[in-house]
Chains A and B, each alone.
Chain A
């Protein structure tokens, strides 16, 4: 049975950030994820996790450039020291919250030279893999679609696997987001089946619109059952913008919560 978890950046926006933990638990979720927990204190979040018996599955490394505002410091050779600082911050949160993994970031290439971006990115994800490994947290590489984020550097499942292979660190794994990959390549079921050993986290949303399953072209009743059938034992993060009120648009998930 798929273990659904709620993305608190995208869902439960009817509530203040800290109160979304309670709301997700009330809706039946046993796990949550949140890209940016950094405006909250670790202890403050842990208290909510314990109160609600919630698993904090993943967070993201904060990779926004302080000057440009672009989330691409993993690609910039002049920001490698900053990426190390941010990795340390993410490791502290991920460890404190008991996360299974951290999305270690990538970003749009912007005006960075492609060769420089490539070399820097590979070195950075190898570094992140080592650092997160020290606190027992998996370093996750997520390909993202270039329609929503033009120029995103790693934007196909093969591109993610190639980067992981090149960095060659045992603590690196793929975060496969069905929404992003439906936009970029299609062929969802067989791709996931073929690369399952490399996948340590999954995210979902329907397409187009990035709303809840049932609002678009992807048949998630099939996908979720298939994940079970092929033996995926990890979490499935609901990273979508509800088409209406979050609780009222959870009908699709009632069989799983």
Chain B
């Protein structure tokens, strides 16, 4: 049975962040994910999770200066210290929140650093993060992101994320497969899922174009979600989409899972 997590960075924007936990629970979600918890004390978020009986499914490692355009810092040789500090901070939050998945954001390609050097740095950072959570239930995830929404993003195809994950040589490092991003970059979703199920640790979804809820675009999630289920995937599927209108009014597609 498909387990959907509400992405609180994109959904339930009708209310303030800390009120989105209650809104997601009221809509029937049992799990939540979002980009970052770091603006709030971990204990304050933990209270919300407990009050509404929610599982903290996933959040991202600190990703540099988001306002200034950073989308991660894990591929830059001159920012390894910053990445490592971020790992420490994220793991502290994850332990308080009971979160078992942390996502690495690779960052945007910058002039002056070769793609090869960025890839090597990313692998080293994945290994560092893997060691930092050794002996815990936490899995480190790497996500490929489309370069239309984030021009220059360093990891933008499934085989890139897969090869970095494999090069990290760690069983607690896996691929986060976002169906929306990969429909934009490569298509052939069902076969890509088949070919990579052995390394996929988390799914995210949104329809395309628009990044709204399923049934608003070209992807048939009524086929894909049961298909993923049939392959034996027992993890979460994060709803990382911007509702086309009111969040709850747009949840008809999810009624059979919530």
Contacts and interface: CB of A to CB of B under 8 A. Distances in A.
Interface stretch (A41-49, A55-63, A124-132, A211-219): A211-219
B190 to A, nearest CB: 5
B121 to A, nearest CB: 29
Contacts of A216: 190, 220, 223
Contact of A183 (B187, B217, B218, B224): B187
A217 B221 CA distance: 7
A189 B212 CA distance: 14
A185 interface: yes
A109 interface: no
Interface in B189-247: 189-191, 207-209, 215-221, 223-224
B190 A222 contact: no
A181 interface: yes
A182 interface: yes
B146 to A, nearest CB: 9
A218 B188 contact: no
Contacts of B221: 219
Contacts of A223: 218
Nearest to B210: A189
Contacts of A208: 188, 190-191
Nearest to B179: A217
B183 interface: yes
B190 A186 contact: no
Interface residues of B, number: 22
Contacts of B189: 186, 217
Contacts of B182: 186
A198 B209 CA distance: 21
Interface in B154-188: 182-188
A17 interface: no
A186 B217 contact: no
Interface string B128-150: 00000000000000000000000
A16 interface: no
Given A190-B209, A217-B223, A217-B224, A222 B217 contact: yes
A249 B174 CA distance: 39
B148 to A, nearest CB: 8
B188 A187 contact: no
B186 A186 contact: yes
Nearest to A213: B220
A182 B182 CA distance: 11
B184 A189 contact: no
A152 B188 CA distance: 17
A184 B187 contact: yes
A182 B187 contact: yes
Nearest to A188: B218
Contact of B208 (A147, A187, A206): A187
Contacts of B220: 206, 214, 216-220
Interface string A194-229: 000000000000111000001111111011001000
A206 B182 CA distance: 17
Given A189-B208, A216-B223, A217-B223, A222 B187 contact: no
A95 B200 CA distance: 53
Given A186-B185, A207-B190, A220-B220, 17 more contacts: A147-B188, A183-B187, A186-B184, A187-B183, A188-B218, A189-B208, A189-B209, A190-B209, A214-B223, A216-B220, A217-B224, A218-B218, A218-B219, A218-B220, A219-B218, A219-B220, A223-B218
25 contacts: A181-B187, A183-B191, A186-B182, A186-B185, A186-B187, A186-B188, A187-B184, A189-B208, A189-B218, A190-B209, A207-B188, A214-B223, A215-B223, A216-B190, A216-B220, A216-B223, A217-B190, A218-B218, A219-B207, A219-B215, A219-B217, A219-B220, A220-B220, A222-B215, A223-B218
Interface of A: 147, 181-190, 206-208, 214-220, 222-223, 226
When A and B form their complex, which 3 residue pairs have the shortest distance between CB atoms, in order from nearest?
A186-B187, A219-B220, A186-B183
